[in-house]
Structure 1
Amino acid sequence: MEDKNIMNEKKDCTDKAGAPVPVRFLEGKKVYLRPIDTGDTEAYFQQLFQPETRKLTGTQKHFTRNQIERYIEGKTQDTSSILLLIALTETDEVIGDIALQDIDSYNRSAGIRISIDSNRNQGKGCGTEALNLMLDYGFGIVNLHRIELNVFAYNERALHVYEKIGFKKEGVQKEALYYNHKYHDSILMAILEHEYRQLHGL
């Protein structure tokens, strides 16, 4: 009986072609969030080098595939952050990543960041849903009190999304980023647990 149960468990974890079925850690209607592993190295590497992704995240450095693989390995062991991939619910296509980072259990605070990998996946509500999934997890499971983020002033679409979700502007870091021959401001935004619960009727 034990061997049979093991076989059934293995069968349930694969699709009709025998490929592993992605774990849906946090699931919404449009997207779900799943853990990252070293098998995602190439996809993560390609996403990082998309020009639009580099601009919106302010990425300035160059990374090799080996560096990305080591980064992923490190994140799976890092208790101060939770890095998840964003995948489309219908197709399992990975379209970005989201992370709670610098988790401070004493002050119950953390930062959050998100990246959607191309214009064809932006403006469809996928990022908004991914953010709400992670915020719900952060406040409802991780027991955070405050979640903050930084967004560059030229990323107007993201600013609108964050404000719509409930983040409030707290300050501006003047000319904090040098990118493409110009200095750009970085805007600090945050949301508190009671603000999130009030918005969602929790």
Structure 2
Amino acid sequence: MKFLDGDRIYLKHIDESDYQIIYRVVQDPEIRRLTGTQSFLTYEKIAEAYEGFKKQNNRIDLMIVLKENDEVIGDLALLDVDSRNRNGSVRIAIHEEKFRSNGYGTEALDIILKYAFDQMNLHRISLNVYSFNKRAKKSYEKLGFEQEGILREELFYDGIYHDNILMGLLKEEYKRKK
């Protein structure tokens, strides 16, 4: 069932029927590289994790779905929501190369940012991106995110150290971009 609607995509809550998709995706070497995932997760561990996430009131886990054919093309989460300080963070994964560089990720983030700022009245959203993921960083900057810091050589992946870039976006900055 649709949770939030966009022009070409919609976002729906993750349910049990999506666990197999997530399991398949986390086996993909490129997804593992882009997300810095180094441990292998079983289907059972994924199901257990998402069942646990459902019980938390500080996150929303969603699938990104194409409107034209209801195909799942990615997932995202609004997490670490701190209602007292009115901030949270986001993470996103577009599952297959053929769906990347088409603006779907940017559209999905725009939908969840609008929800976070307008419906949840959050003030600040942050995210992390690895330095080698130039395409994602460009998408985030298009939405108004600014680099706020660098965790130098934080990820050791395939024998190489990579920086983890912290980016942030304030509600007023997002509104100015619109």
Q: TM-score range, shorter-chain basis?
A: over 0.9
2:102 is equivalent to residue 124 of structure 1: yes
Please give the secondary structure, in 1, of the residue aligned with 2:70. coil
2:51 is equivalent to residue 73 of structure 1: yes
Match of 2:137 in 1: 159
2:38 is equivalent to residue 40 of structure 1: no
Please give the secondary structure, in 2, of the residue aligned with 1:106. coil
2:93 is equivalent to residue 115 of structure 1: yes
Please give the secondary structure, in 2, of the residue aligned with 1:173. strand
Measured in 2, the distance between the counterparts of 1:135 and 1:176 equals 27
Mapping for residues 6-45 of structure 1, pairs under 5 Å: 23-45=1-23
Match of 1:176 among 134, 154, 167: 154
Structure 1: give runs of 5+ residues left out of the alignment. Answer: 1-22
Match of 1:150 in 2: 128
* Alignment-mate amino acid for residue 107 of structure 1: N
* Alignment-mate amino acid for residue 131 of structure 2: A
Measured in 1, the distance between the counterparts of 2:26 and 2:66 equals 19
Deviation per CA, 1:83-105: give whole Å up to 9, x if none.
Answer: 10001111111111011111111
* Alignment-mate amino acid for residue 47 of structure 1: V
Please give the secondary structure, in 2, of the residue aligned with 1:112. strand
2:31 is equivalent to residue 49 of structure 1: no
Higher strand fraction: Structure 1 or Structure 2? 2
After TM superposition, give the deviation of residue 65 of structure 1 in Å: 0.7
Match of 1:58 among 31, 36, 39: 36
Measured in 1, the distance between the counterparts of 2:65 and 2:26 equals 16
After TM superposition, give the deviation of residue 127 of structure 1 in Å: 0.4
Please give the secondary structure, in 1, of the residue aligned with 2:2. coil
Measured in 2, the distance between the counterparts of 1:142 and 1:48 equals 30
* Alignment-mate amino acid for residue 60 of structure 2: I
* Alignment-mate amino acid for residue 138 of structure 1: A
Q: Please say which structure displays the higher CA radius of gyration.
A: 1
After TM superposition, give the deviation of residue 132 of structure 1 in Å: 0.1
2:169 is equivalent to residue 191 of structure 1: yes
Identical aligned residues as a percent: 45
Please give the secondary structure, in 2, of the residue aligned with 1:46. helix
Match of 2:61 in 1: 83
Please give the secondary structure, in 2, of the residue aligned with 1:115. strand
Measured in 1, the distance between the counterparts of 2:70 and 2:29 equals 23
Match of 1:9 in 2: none
Structure 2: give runs of 5+ residues left out of the alignment. Answer: none
* Alignment-mate amino acid for residue 43 of structure 1: I
Q: After the TM superposition, which segments of 4 or more aligned residues of structure 1 sit over 3 Å from their partners?
A: none
Measured in 2, the distance between the counterparts of 1:87 and 1:199 equals 25
Measured in 1, the distance between the counterparts of 2:25 and 2:119 equals 29
